[in-house]
Structure formats: C-alpha cells, structure tokens
Chains A and B, each alone.
Chain A
Amino acid sequence: MSDKTLDLGTWINDGVQHLLDNHGGAFDSAGQVVAGFSEGIEALLMWPPAWLLIACFVALGLWRIGVRFALFTAVAFTLIVLTGFWEQTLVTLGLTFSATLISLVLGVPLGIWAARSDRVAAIIRPALDFMQTMPAFVYLIPAAMLFGLGRVPGILATVIFAMPPAVRLTNLGIRQVNRELVEAGQAFGCNRRQLLFKVQLPNALPSIMAGVNQTIMMALSMVIIASMVGAGGLGNDVLASIQRLDIGLGFESGMAVVLLAIILDRITESFGTPRPARGALRAWFDRLFASRSHSTAKTQEPS
C-alpha cells in the first residue's frame, strides 16, 4: 500500500464512512422504504398457491407467445417445484421485480430527459458506463456498509447494475423515432408533453421494452450475486454449492435460475413489439374458421 502515490481507495473509504456517520439516519429510512416495498412484492408472490401462480405464467405465455412456450413454462416451473426450489425461486423473482421496478422508475424518466437534452445525455453517458462496467461485486461493499446486510443492499446494488440499459434504450428509442413522425406531431400542434406521450414514447416502445428486458435479465443475474450480502433466494443455494463444492446442488439451483431467466426473457421480449403478431389463441381460432369464411384479409402491398 505504501508505494501508492494516489490513494483513491482511502478517499472513497473516508467518503463512505463520512456518509455513514453523518447521514446514517437517512440511509436507514430509505432502506426501510425499499425493504417494505420488496417485502410487499414477495408477499404478493407467496400469497397464491404454487399451481395458481404457475397457471398465471402459463396463461401469460399462451397469450403473448404461443402454445409451445406455454408448455415449456409449465414443465420448467413444475421441475423447479419438484426439485424443491420453488420458494427460493419466488424470493429471487421478488428481488428481481423489486430491483427492476425501482430501476425503471428511475431509469425511464432519466432516459427521456437524456433524449431531450444533448447536454444531459453527455453527462449521463460516462456515469452509465461506470455503472455497467464496474465489477458487480464492488457495489455490494458500500451498499452493505450503508444499509447493513440483507435484501436492501442487494436490491440497491442490483438497481445500480441493472438501470443503465433502461436509460440507454429509452434515450436511444426516443431519438430514433422517425423524424417525419415527430414532425407530424409538431405540425398538428402537439406541445412538448403531447409530443412525448402521443408520438415519441409510443413509437419508442419497442426500444424501451428491449431496455426493460435487459434490465430484468441483468437484475436477475445481479440478484444471485447479491446473496453474498444476504439478499437470499436462489443465490444462497448457489453460494452454498460453491462453498461445499456440491456440484449437484449447484446444478439444481443454477438450472432454476436459467429456467426463470428464459421465461422472464421471452415474456418481456414479447411486449417489445407494439402490435405483436396476433396472439396464439387468435391465430388458432382463425385457422379453425379459415375454412368456413372465405373473406380474406387484405394483404399488405409493398409501398
């Protein structure tokens, strides 16, 4: 340590200590809000019996994607229940949702702001780079110091890690809305608020939803790591399997994470297309009745 000429680390330590000494109360109350919020979400997920929650996911999959994905969802969740990881999975899901919601509540408005001001975008960009590339574990240390062990530092560290895609893709999505569409909005007398809500956001939706999808996936991966500060969930089992060199446990808990990730990924991705291909049910009905009705939908001409 003595051969350092610039001891950045000590400054950071002092800074965190200073925050803790002088603003500990503020962090405590903020922590309580986050804790209450995430406990609420977890309780909501725990409240219905497993089969009902699984049925909900299956229905969602059927509506948004199709029969085959619905089947996959059913099998995957049943597998998790049978291997005894259902409760842990719900805890992980709750943490992921909490972190994602907080990320979006902060990230989407920030992205909108960045899209409207080049200066804001220029300032935010390096901050986002920092948040995304700093090794994820590093956030856990100050988070644990400021908020103590448990779910709160885990969620907040996850928010920092998972928020950047929401900001970036909201910004990008709004900036990439077709120029003539924006002009159309202006030409018909939109004020700035109407332009945002009637033109820019609806047309940036695919990109924003891609950001939401990325945020969820990053949150899920970070929530596992956050078990190191006692966030709980499947991460605990993964951690235990590493400590005990228990390959079997590692595989089981890891598989639960992967299955959860696939299901969340596909479902959120399906919301990214603004007018998705007709739902599987509709398509199925249409096929059923296609032979009877001869009215064919007008095919789209290339323009």
Chain B
Amino acid sequence: MPHGKIVVEHLFKVFGPDPQEALRRLEQGHDKDRILADTGNVIGVCDVSFSVQEGEIFVLMGLSGSGKSTLIRLINRLVEPTAGAVYIDGQDISTLPEAKLIELRRRDMSMVFQSFALMPGRTVLDNAAFGLEVAGEPRAEREAKAMAVLEQVGLASFADKFPHELSGGMQQRVGLARALAVDPSLIIMDEAFSALDPLKRREMQDVLLDLQNQHRRTILFVSHDIEEALRIGTRIGIMEGGRLIQVGTPQELIDNPVNDYVRNFFDAVDTSRYLTAGQLTGDDVPMFVHNGTAPRATTVCRALEEQNKAFGIVIDEDNHLCGMISREQAAQLVEDDQGARVYADSLEDVEPMAADASLEQVIERLVDSPGPVPVVDEDGNYCGAISKTAVLTQLKGGQA
C-alpha cells in the first residue's frame, strides 16, 4: 500500500438500482453511457486511485458532473463507496464501523461547504463551536477554542451575530473557523470559495494559505476554477466523467497535459505566471568551478569577454554556490596580477533564490540586481542562474 495521509485505491461509486451489476459491466468494458441506458445506473466515481501526502493542498479539478464532489464525500464517507478502499493514516475508512467513523470525524477531519452550510439559528460563535459541541466538549472550553479560531480568521468581533447578518465572504470565514476549531489534521473543502466573488475568493485563498503557513494541515480542495487550483494547490488532480485522468504539480500539468480536456483548462490562463525560479534558469550565465583551487582570473575574464557576458557564477565542486564575479572585477584582477586567482574575497556575495520562488519574486529580484540571480534547490545545490534575457525569452515563448 502506498503511504500518505489519504490513500484511495480503485474507488467506485455507482448510483442506481443495481450497483454491482454496473460494476460487472464496467469490468466487461462497457462504457458509462451504455451502462446508464441498459441498467439505469449512474457511474459517479470510476476506478479512482491516488494519494495525498501529509501537509499538502491537493486540489481536485473538473467540470461539474465530473464526480469530484462525490469523490471527496467518499473520503469522509458521507457517501458510501460501492467498491474500493479509502485509507486515512493507514486506516481503511470504507469498512469502519459507524461509531469509529463518527469518532474520526469528530477528532481528525472536518469539511467546508460551497453554500457555507452554517446553522441559521446559531450565532457565529455557536457555529464555530459546532464540531466541539457535537464531540461533547464543555461549553466554556469549546467557546474559548471557537473564539480563538474566530480570531484567526478575523471575525472575533462578530461572534454574537447570526450568519444572515454577515456577507458571503464572512460567512465562509465562519465555515472555515468551524472546520479549524476541532483542530483536524485533514480538512475537506468542497468548492469552498466558488460562491464568492473574485476579490473575496482571492482574499479567502490568502487566508487559507496564511493559516497553512501557521499550521500545516492536509487539505483536500475541490474547485472548478483553474486559477484557484494553480494558486493554492501543491498538486492538482483532474477529473473527467468520474475518472481521475491526471495528477501532478501545477507545472507538470501545464507542461504535459495528457489530453485536450486537461489542456483546455489551462487555455484561458496565463500559465507563465506559475513559472518558478527553477524553471526560469537558463544556460546563458557562465559558470566556473572552484575545484579545490580557485579559478584563474585570466580564464574567467577571457570566457566572459568571449561570451560577452557581464557576470559569471562560481560554484565549488560539491555544486554549492560560492558567489558571483563581474567582468570588470575579473579584468581588474588580471590587470593587477596576470596569475591572479579568483578567491572568495574577490567574489560578490549574492543571495541565491529558492528554486520554487514565483515568477513575481524573480522579477522583483531582477529589477533590483545588476546581474543574473543564482538559484539553489532546497538542499543548497546550485541549479543555474536567471538572467533578464532568459526571463524575457521565457515569457515571450510562454505567450506564443
């Protein structure tokens, strides 16, 4: 069994009079439409397998009717699976007895809904405390906890209001607070921000990302908005007709869509905005290796002049960044002493960028720096450098 926070294996959901018959026909290779016509069974989710890692925001994307809402309800078993298994922390949810399932829902998972689903007769505070109340937490404690999460989502001063007195965005903050109050390790969000206007939606995405920075949880997020998926998703799964047809990081999906359905999602988006520093590095910045002995100034100077570059990068033999040297600096060293070597003290100290930095951050850095910006991965290994030319070329290519 693959490991992960959530592991889904060959999951099926059939709605209709005879689900088992529909499964048999699926095995025989009949397609959905024929099964519907012959048996009246609707295939909601068809042979879906994937896993979500601890701490990841996994976004399920798909057009309406693609089965994404059903799929997430199979994961907390609001909908009973027809076949297949769902493991959460290694425990098979689909065979869990009801009492255990209720226990798990109270303790470790919660949900945020598209229509907010706040209880209209309860105050904001009582709504936020709902999960704790159900779990039998005493009033004083649950209200203190609910108040703390309302504080986190910026609604503490609205605690004694009723949901209908709040705007849509604020109502969904309450929905989020309710989900956070039980301090779950897994939150399922069903088109949580789809009912909000674009500005409010962005704001809520920021709230979510902020919360995620404070305390990393596993989030399974359903959306039909590709911009949203790209913005918040660690990985994205694309659903079509009940099947999960592709899973990958935003960049993987942009680079290698499996079919036109996936490609169409990205058509309307300016995908270059989702480029990362690692992908922007070009081979147009000369690189010199400090292999025990520092490189000769004359070598550096000549190379830079030949390639007509203003800067070069020096790395050590372990592929770690040493620094950057300008052509003027190299020329100066040569002028002072023909046999000079480029030691660390003559290098310009330059702060490298992380490989997963966004295009926006890269541009910000480039604007302020005279030369290229080196990029390192999370282990500190040098991945390349980004020059202004490289970025412009990428953007031009990306737009074409």
A interface residues, Cβ below 8 angstroms from B:
178, 180-181, 183-191, 194, 198-199, 202-203, 205, 274-275, 297-298, 300-301, 303
User: In the complex, what residues of A have CB within 8 A of residue B162's CB?
Assistant: 275
- B31 → A minimal CB distance (Å): 29
Chain A CB within 8 A of B165 CB: yes
Decide: B164 and A300 in contact? CB cutoff 8 A: yes
Choice from B106, B114, B167, B195 contacting A189 with Cβ under 8 Å:
B106
Tell me whether A303 and B195 are in contact (CB under 8 A).
yes
B110 and A187 form a contact (CB under 8 A): yes
With A187-B78, A189-B102, A300-B165 in contact, do A178 and B115 touch (Cβ < 8 Å)?
A: yes
Chain B residues whose CB sits within 8 angstroms of the CB of A303 once the complex forms: 167-168, 171, 195-196
Complex interface: chain A residues within 8 A of B104 (CB): 189
11 pairs, A vs B, C-beta closer than 8 Å: A183-B78, A187-B76, A187-B109, A187-B188, A188-B178, A188-B182, A189-B102, A189-B106, A189-B135, A275-B162, A300-B164
Question: Does B117 interact with chain A (Cβ within 8 Å)?
Answer: yes
| A298 close to B105 (CB less than 8 A) | no
A184 is contacted by which of B73, B111, B121, B171 (Cβ under 8 Å)?
B111
Chain B 86-118 residues near chain A, CB threshold 8 A:
102-107, 109-111, 113-115, 117
Bound CA span A199–B122, Å: 10
Chain B's interface size range is 35 or more
Please state if B113 and A190 are interface contacts (CB–CB under 8 Å).
no
Q: By DSSP majority rule, is chain B's interface helix, strand, loop, or mixed?
A: mixed
Name B111's contact: one of A183, A191, A194, A301 (CB within 8 Å): A183
Indicate if the CB atoms of A184 and B113 lie closer than 8 Å.
yes
- How long is the Cα–Cα vector from A117 to B321 in the complex, in angstroms? 70
Residues in A with CB closer than 8 Å to B121 are: 202-203, 205, 274-275
The answer, yes or no, to whether B120 is at the interface (CB within 8 Å) is yes
In the complex, which residues of chain B have a beta carbon less than 8 angstroms from the beta carbon of A180? 113-115, 117
A296 to B73, CA, bound (A): 41
Given contact pairs A183-B78, A194-B134, A300-B166, enumerate 7 new A-B contacts (beta carbons under 8 Å): A184-B119, A184-B130, A188-B111, A188-B131, A198-B119, A203-B121, A297-B165
Evaluate contact between B165 and A298: CB separation under 8 angstroms: yes
Chain B residues near A275 (CB-CB < 8 A): 120-121, 162, 164
Question: Closest CB of chain A to B185's CB: distance in Å?
Answer: 15
Within the assembled complex, what's the spacing in Å between the Cα atoms of A301 and B188? 26
The CA of A188 and the CA of B134, in the complex, are separated in Å by 7
Known: A180-B117, A303-B195. A189 touches B131 (CB 8 A): yes
Residues of A within 8 A of B119 (CB): 181, 184, 198-199, 202-203
Report the 6 A-B pairs with minimum CB-CB distance, sorted nearest first. Answer: A303-B168, A189-B106, A189-B105, A187-B111, A301-B167, A184-B117
Complexed CA–CA distance, A194 and B102 (Å): 11
- Docked Cα-Cα span, A187 to B178, in Å, equals 11
Cα distance A274–B110 when bound, in Å? 27
A189-B131, A189-B134, A300-B165 known; A183-B102 Cβ under 8 A: no
Chain B residues with CB below 8 A from A187, complex form: 76, 78, 105, 109-111, 188
